[in-house]
Structure formats: C-alpha cells, structure tokens
Amino acid sequence: METILVTGGAGFIGSHLCEKLLEQGNHVICVDNFFTGSMKNIEHLRDNKDFEVIRHDIVEPILLETDKIYNLACPASPIHYQFNAIKTVKTNVIGITNMLDLASETKARVLQASTSEVYGDPLIHPQKEEYWGNVNTIGLRSCYDEGKRVAETLMMNYHRQHNVDIRIIRIFNTYGPRMAENDGRVVSNFIIQALKNQDITIYGDGSQTRSFCYVDDLVRGMITLMNKDGFMGPVNVGNDGEYTILELAKMIIELTNSKSKIVFKPLPSDDPCKRRPDLTLARKELNYEPTIHVRDGLARTIEYFKTVV
C-alpha cells in the first residue's frame, strides 16, 4: 500500500482522483484550503479508514511521509483564479516549491497538474508538447498561465539540480460531476442555465473552440503517467474532439430539452480562439485514448447537475 498526497483533493478533479486512488488500495491524504473545493465533494470518502483530510494552504510548507504527490491545488476557473490573482501566482510558484521540497525530503515522485493554458492563445493547431506557447505576461490570465509555466520550470529545475522524480501533465478542458456550481466555466454554466431555462450566455460570437474531456478519462491518464517509469512528460491529456462554443451550447440545449435562448456577451480579454490537444505522445507513451464521447459525458454531467440545481 502506498501513501499518496493529493493537494487540491477536495476540488472537482482532485475528488475523482482521491476516489480512484482509494479504489486501487492506496492510503490517500487530501490537502486542501477549501477555496474552491468543498467537503461535500469528498463526503462519500470520509468513512474510508485510508482517507485523511488536512485543511492546509500549500503556500505554507508541510511535512508528511508520502510516496507520491499529485499537486492539483490551484483554482482552475478564470473567475476564481482572477479573484485574488496574487494568491494564484503564489499557489502556483510557492505551492509547487513546497511540494518539490517535500518530494526532495521524502524521495516521493511528484506530478504537477499543468494546463493547456501554457500554450496561451496558440499559434499552432492542434497543440503539441514541443510548442512553446503564446502567452500575454501581463494579461488577466497570466496569474494562472504564467504561474503554471513557472511551476513547470521549477519541476524541471528540481529534477536537474536535486534529482527529484517528476511527472508533468498538461490538462485540457475537463468537465464532469462535482464541478462547482458557481465555477463560471462553460460546461457548468451552460448546463445550469439550460436546466433553469435561463439564457445561455455565449461570450463573443461562439466561434472559439475547446476540446472537452470527461473527468474519468483524465484521471486514468493522470494515474498512468504517475505510475509509469522512465517517462516524465510534459504530456497533453484530454479529448481531441473539437467544438465551437456555439456547438456546445446547442448540444446542451438539445440534451436537456431546454427552452433556453442563446444570448451573446462580450468576450473576456485574452480568451484563446482555439484549443485542441495533439494526443500523439499520450497515445504512444501512456497508451491513452479518451473513451467517453462528449455527448455521453455531458449527459452524465447533466444528471449530476439535476441533483444540485
């Protein structure tokens, strides 16, 4: 049995990861400051004797015995990561430094939840890992995307200087049950609006694209990367189906039988025009294949939100 630390374990992806790691027979320590995560997300795991929860902010150091560290702590939706942008930078930079120091001390392997945002508003399409990105250093998104870029830099430098065993996963837009209701991300917003028959708010003209990955596929890719020897990434993981935001809105209206109308609102600054992962490396190194089509994943997510809304 391994002891595995999951920072951000009470968040959307983190709660699914904790659940899967417990199912696989590990002892899981969830560390979270509950900024965007909630106790409700992990309520169903609390009776498991192999599950521990610690309220802690990763900007402060922590010392724990652990074999593996999944570093997911960081608000992921633009409204939340921009709420306190300075704190977001600290979480990304000081937070990962604390985790890398812990990994150094305990000889744990550490996986960083990086993001497609490291490619910024990409000038090549689809995005391959070799692409260095197109990021505005002073824009509203920079606290998140530059923070995540420095986190990758720190990962590589701890690996080179201190021989820390690292894994870097670049996560593309992921959705599913337990996304926060007030998250502001497109999938949760559109589903909630559709279920309430409220206007569906498209930012811009809806021609921007994203590729949506169901959380189970993402978590499987993440665990495979963590457990594989001899490959540290960075590697893209997501789903390579690409949809415009307008197509997504229409799909959700259809799947919910909603009476909602589509309305158009201003596009936030630095909103990427297109995004789709090139999954060649993940297929080769991780034998990874997304298995859940967006319509099926949305249907499952809609069932979840029906219980919440």
Nearest residue to 217 via CA among 122, 306, 286, 274: 286
CB of 67 to ligand NAD, least distance (A): 20
Vertex 281, ends 275 and 282: CA angle to 5°?
Answer: 80
CB of 71 to ligand NAD, least distance (A): 7
Please state whether beta strands 209-210 and 243-244 pair in parallel, antiparallel, or not at all (unpaired).
Answer: antiparallel
Residues 228-247 within binding reach of ligand UDP (CB under 6 A): 245
CB of 193 to ligand NAD, least distance (A): 19
Residues 52-91 within binding reach of ligand UDP (CB under 6 A): 77-78
Q: Which of 70, 81, 119, 144 is catalytic?
A: 144
Q: Rule CB under 6 A: is residue 208 a binding residue for ligand UDP?
A: yes
Does the annotation mark 203 as catalytic?
no
Q: Which is nearer to ligand NAD, 59 or 267 (CB)?
A: 59
CB of 246 to ligand UDP, least distance (A): 9
Residue 210 binds which one of ligand UDP, ligand NAD, none, with CB within 5 to 8 A depending on kind? ligand UDP
Q: Rule CB under 6 A: is residue 189 a binding residue for ligand UDP?
A: yes
* Candidate list 53, 180, 186, 298; residue touching ligand UDP; CB under 6 A: 186
Three-state SS across 202-248? EECCCCCEECCEEHHHHHHHHHHHHHCCCCCCCEEECCCCCEEHHHH
Q: Rule CB under 6 A: is residue 173 a binding residue for ligand UDP?
A: yes
Q: Rule CB under 6 A: is residue 253 a binding residue for ligand UDP?
A: no
Residue 78 binds which one of ligand NAD, ligand UDP, none, with CB within 5 to 8 A depending on kind? ligand UDP
Contact positions vs ligand NAD (CB under 6 A) = 7-8, 10-14, 32-37, 57-59, 72-76, 91, 95, 113, 115, 171, 173-174, 180
Q: Within a 13 Å sphere around the CA of 198, how many CA atoms are in the beta-carbon half? A: 10
Residues with a catalytic annotation lie at 144
Binding site for ligand UDP (CB under 6 A): 77-78, 173, 185-186, 189, 201-203, 208, 210, 245, 268, 271
